Amino acid sequence: MSLVAKDDGWRIPDELWAEWSGCSGPGRRIRGCHNPRVPDRDAINAILFVLRTGCQWNALDATGICSSSAAYRRFREWTGAGVFLELWRCGLLAYDSVRGVEWEWLVADGR
């Protein structure tokens, strides 16, 4: 039995997942692994749970969202592939089209 319920409010909503699902790229299998790959949606829910709550990766096992090793492996894989940077970029552009970012007030620190 997991500690985190299905309707806990921490999961990615369907409409947001529909936009994000194409950003993660094709799933890769690790050679010699006998377990099926954790679904991308479960992995991203687990990763975002860790980032929002600040819990340790190993604490994910008690939540039932996804195993800690699978979530951390996917986090490293997606970080290396630039997936989170692309999600951030897409989110920023979407916010800019809806609310507008006052770009003229932004400053870059150049040393």
The span from the CA of 74 to the CA of 58, in Å, is: 14
The SS3 assignment for 23 reads coil
Could you tell me the residue range of the domain that residue 77 belongs to? 37-105
Evaluate whether residue 60 is within a structural domain.
Answer: yes
Does residue 20 lie within any of the structural domains?
no
Q: Give the span between the Cα atoms of 62 and 105, in whole angstroms.
A: 44
Q: Determine, yes or no, domain membership for 8.
A: no
Query: pLDDT by residue for the chain (111 residues), tens digit each?
Result: 445 555 567 788 888 888 777 665 555 555 556 678 889 999 999 999 999 999 999 999 998 888 999 999 999 999 999 988 988 888 888 888 998 888 777 777 665
Distance CA 31, CA 17 (A): 28
Which amino acid type is present at position 99? R
Angle of helix 68-81 relative to helix 40-53, nearest 10 degrees, comes to: 90
Domain assignment of residue 16, yes or no: no
Q: Please tell me the total count of domains within the chain.
A: 1
CA distance 100 to 27: 34
| pTM reported for the whole predicted model | 0.73
Does residue 4 lie within any of the structural domains?
no
